[in-house]
Structure 1
């Protein structure tokens, strides 16, 4: 007789419980890779970046390598918040009905999180640290490899915490982080001309300031522990172990709270009036119905996750576009931080009606409700964005006192007037509903590129007279710039309000029906291989992709590079010409490229639904 079944004790049961999330994650990953090739393609791109990092480790600077490794770990934590990385993972809420404790559940969930393309690629990328330490001997490789594993665990646990606490951008913290990250990414991308010289210097040899700062950055500790004194290395690795242990303890507490209470945290209710609401209460000259809509919209701007994300994006994007040129000793754009942020906020507000769902029936069934709805939305936008634009502009003027800021200050009211009203009209003209207005996520962003372009064009059109007078007008006309800016802002305000009134008054039921949709049309599937039949059936999509890909060539290398940076020769046409012909050809190339990009955007918006 065998008593083998009786030998399975608590350790075996706990191990089985820990393995459940890992098996769930493996099954989901296998099925998702079979249905969607996107993660595999992204993993291939990540492997190429990891290979470059390893190649740099063979001959690059130690401190720069530590900085790059830290950026990789930070990106591992933040990127899933933006790219929807929480959709295919096993969450603590999935284990609520399982007979499992907090510690085994946390271990199982971390094991499940380690199964995937991202963790595998990150492990390959962090292998660059021991590769760099190979020049110092076997012991250095082992020490650095241990530190790299600790950094990998830090990224794994940090990503799990971020996805559970602020994931899906469902709360204000997640929304702000997502907006800051996207604003930073696009701000850096828009200022590559100023960032690239600094990056090239950093890749060659880290400056002294970076070297001193890396002593406090955990990603630089593994190599320093292997190359420095023994006592210092032990202290650094012990500190790194302590950081990982603290993060693990925080994740265990989080998982235990979810298993017991059902939620990772409970936001505190507040009844305090916001400053925006206080300003709204002082608008006694505004009709009562409009004040009511203004108060509702002002509170929505302070509480709605996607609106907070839009504001954070606009502030960071405008500040970086104006501030990053300081890396190349260019301070001319600092006073323009406010106007750039206002323009970004207007562009990101071009789809707000899609966030309201069927709530639009209220203004449609109220006498005069359409007029109050339009003006209340525009006025609330002004109350929220105007202080941001003014503060950023004043800060830029203070930081760059030698720069003439009159044009920027005069442009600000024109952009505010257009930004308050034109996006209201655009959002009524092109309604993009979210799947669930009660629980919007960053993946539910209803703003499309055509709406963004139209809202941006409205602001640029309003500011065009100010800019034209400043560039081509006589010097005696400079005192008139603020007045022109105010008049342009007022004209843009009334023009946008009139268009929005007309749209909501004439097509109100149509707008309500569009905002109440709960399912989006399926995306056009682009084949990864050559498919003649698909291109015949989707000619507009194919042309749009071609124009959006090729259109940047006339704009950047053929236009911006010879005009802004004086780059000539080679295949740059304008570089082979002189003086006026060079300028004319450069601007002509920019015009051709912009026309190609706009045509591609229009064709992409008109692509046939699947």
Structure 2
């Protein structure tokens, strides 16, 4: 008990000093959304059928399991490896970390949602229904937290091999795509209702307990103990860094400096577990995102899989130089040299063939608009190849040197907020580079392909040149930032942190929510309108009269672009000296 209380106090101290600046703004946004979902759960507990409430709690459970897995490790405020030298037995450390895991905003928000069990108990049996609800709430919350910890532990073990990194990328990409296409599953539920299987999931056992099934309450207690034992066993095996292969490595042979950079980058793409995961994650997300509407019999989104893969791959690699850590000193030792062009060529060598196969295959299956997808593909590839090094040197987020990473190789930096903000910015900017080619293809057909080739080549050359100049002029400052973990004053995230809190909130709301009106309510809704799909799920434009559909789509796109523009404007207002 003393260990558990000590760890809980340690986490409270860490959280008290960490929710500041940009991270505090992101936390506030997350808390607001969490409380909104909790309020909706309580409303359903008071008004809806028990089957629907059981389905909602299943969603909460899946969020606890898959959320940390998708984010690459979840909450690591207290890392188990920090206590490896204290001589604590695994079950004592697991119990202490479990108690500490209940300290935080996420468990508090979930506890609020689980109060719906008490509401459901009162609806079923009157005031007496509160009695079984109290232990059910505690055990259900413990179940959520333990499932999350065990999932992260299993992920950490899986990521010690290339096969595990690939498998995790497939699962994580599919899960994120399913969450992004939640309207598809809502449409399925509208057709068939909530499946009865939700009662058999552990997330529904608490609801069964408040309805009089005490065996379900006992089952929750037993399952919690089993999960605690499993987590203790995972903690005992998770210490240490991933194993590396002992096979001899072939030397790099290249005829030029750029050729050597390309060869080095290609080997990194094939050997670095983080990059293995990024590539497979982007591919899995794109394919599942485009194929999800097939569940309701619509293949109109399938041709978008290739362009989506390019955009997602760019977002995941937006901190290209930061993930290499202090290896930048190798470039700095060569006066006047940069490796930007070599990195661009290597990035295209990895991404372009996969994007081409996915684009051609998905468009052939769906019979989509060939001019549009073939115009978007080169435009997005060129734009992404130029933006990846550019944003990486202008908004660099200090990363952990690959040889110093913990047992979870996906934890490439301690600044998850900075990585998330940089990835969102990359997604938006890459999409912008494809707009001219997309509009030209929609208006003039095959002429859009020429526009896509021209804009892609221009972005590749021009943005790459800007990145080269930045690297030559600010290379020592970037290396200092990676060595010390403190970003330079001109970095976008540092400028954002220097803003007053109201301006920070505006910027984070723009970066975090600008994609909602821009992509689903704007771009995706326009695809539905073109295919004469009406009154579909949560897409507002499909519910409008024919004369108002396109104005609503245009308004949503402009709203999304305005939100991103306001966020960028707030960042530009920050004083570099203050940052």
Question: What TM-score results when the alignment is normalised by the length of structure 2?
Answer: 0.72
Alignment pair present for 1:19 and 2:14: no
Deviation at 1:200, TM superposition (A): 7.7
Match of 1:318 among 286, 309, 323: 286
Residue in structure 1 matching 2:436, options 459, 464, 487: 464
Answering whether residue 38 of structure 2 is matched by residue 50 of structure 1, we say yes
2:183 is equivalent to residue 211 of structure 1:
no
Please name the residue that 2:58 is paired with. Answer: 70
| Structure 1 residue aligned with 2:561 | 594
- For the 8 Å contact 1:414–1:459, the answer to whether it is kept is no
What is the match of residue 331 of structure 2?
A: 363
> Aligned ranges for residues 242-321 of structure 1 at < 5 Å?
243-255=223-235, 257=236, 263-264=238-239, 267-270=242-245, 287-304=255-272, 307=275, 310-311=278-279, 314-319=282-287, 321=289
**Using the alignment, how far apart are the partners of 2:103 and 2:422 within structure 1?**
38
Query: Could you say what secondary structure the match of 1:350 adopts?
Result: coil
Distance 2:167 2:414 in 1: 15
Task: Identify the structure with bigger relative contact order (alpha carbons < 8 Å, sequence gap 6+).
Answer: 2
> Contact (CA 8 Å) 2:262, 2:343: kept in 1 or not?
yes
Secondary structure of residue in 2 paired with 1:434: coil
Larger-gyration structure (1/2): 1
- Aligned ranges for residues 410-425 of structure 1 at < 5 Å? 410-425=375-390
Tell me the equivalent position of 1:378. 344
- Measured against aligned partners, the alpha-carbon deviations of 1:549-571 in whole angstroms (never above 9, x if no partner) come to 9989997999889977799xxxx
- State whether residues 510 and 567 of structure 2, in contact with CA within 8 Å, keep that contact through their aligned partners in structure 1: yes
- Name 2:299's counterpart in structure 1: 331
Contact 1:544-1:604 at 8 Å conserved across structures: yes
Is the 1:184–1:316 contact (alpha carbons within 8 Å) kept by the matching residues of 2? no
Q: Tell me what 2:363 maps to.
A: 397
- Could you tell me how far 1:335 is from its partner in structure 2? 0.8
Give the direction of change, closer, same or farther, for the CA distance of 1:56–1:91 in structure 2 (3 Å limit). Answer: same
Using the alignment, how far apart are the partners of 2:79 and 2:325 within structure 1? 30
Structure 1: runs of 5+ lacking an equivalent: 1-17, 528-533
Task: State the distance in 2 between where 1:553 and 1:87 align.
Answer: 29
Q: Are 2:199 and 1:199 equivalent residues in the alignment?
A: no
8 Å CA contact 1:76–1:159 kept in 2: the answer is yes
Aligned to 1:157: 146
* Counterpart-to-counterpart distance in 1, 2:226 and 2:466: 56
Seen in structure 2, the aligned counterparts of structure 1 residues 505 and 48 have a Cα distance that, compared at 3 Å, is closer
Residue 6 (structure 1) aligns with = none
TM-score by length of 1: 0.69
Task: Give 3-state SS (helix, strand or coil) of 1:332's partner.
Answer: coil
In 2, Cα distance between equivalents of 1:432 and 1:227: 51
- Please give the secondary structure, in 2, of the residue aligned with 1:331: coil
Q: Does 1:519 align with 2:486?
A: yes
Evaluate the alpha carbon distance shift between residue 516 and residue 146 of structure 1 in structure 2; reply closer, same or farther with a 3 A threshold. closer
Cα 1:327–1:118 change in 2 (3 A) is same
Q: CA RMSD in A?
A: 5.3
Q: Distance in 1 between matches of 2:442 and 2:295?
A: 26
Asked if structure 2 preserves the Cα contact closer than 8 Å seen for 1:54 and 1:125, the reply is yes
1:53 to partner: Cα distance: 1.7
Other structure's SS at 1:73 match: helix
1:103 and 2:91 aligned: yes
Please state how far the C-alpha of 1:69 moved relative to its aligned partner.
Answer: 1.3
Rounded Cα–Cα distance in structure 2 between residues aligned with 1:119 and 1:462: 41
Contact kept? 2:169, 2:278, Cα under 8 Å? no
* Offset of residue 121 of structure 1: 4.2
Are 1:444 and 2:444 counterparts? no
**Cα gap change, 1:30/1:495 in structure 2, threshold over 3 Å: closer, same or farther?**
closer
Tell me how far apart the structure 2 counterparts of residues 105 and 254 of structure 1 sit (CA, whole Å).
11
**Total equivalences in the alignment:** 547
Cα deviation, 1:422-466, whole Å, max 9, x if unaligned, reads: 42244334444337664354543555757864785466436734x
Q: Which consecutive residues of structure 2, in runs of 5 or more, have no partner in the other structure?
A: 406-410
